[in-house]
Amino acid sequence: MKAIQVTVDEPLLEQVDAVVRELDTTRSAFLREALALALRRHRTRALERQHREGYERTPPDVEDLAALEAIQSWGDR
């Protein structure tokens, strides 16, 4: 692992420290988890944007939508 230096506002650091005590963990472990979560969220947003842009470029036709609706309603039976 590599050590980094991060500047954090005092109120935010106090909140982090309170949660760290509550979770009985360390600042480093807490921040690693927070960074991993932020990266997953960023990746999800990027994939959602790509998905949306793809449908904007090539919208599904009526037959595609009808087939999808039939598949989705199959579980309702």
> Is residue 30 domain-resident?
yes
> Is residue 61 domain-resident?
yes
Count up the domains in the chain and report the number: 1
> Is residue 5 domain-resident?
no
Contact between 17 and 27 (Cβ < 8 Å): yes
pLDDT in tens, 2-53: 999 999 999 999 999 999 999 999 999 999 999 999 999 999 999 999 999 9
> Is residue 40 domain-resident?
yes
The whole-angstrom separation of Cα 39 and Cα 41 is 5
> Is residue 1 domain-resident?
no
The whole-angstrom separation of Cα 2 and Cα 35 is 14
Q: Which domain holds residue 17?
A: 10-74
72 falls in which pLDDT band (50, 70, 90)?
Answer: confident
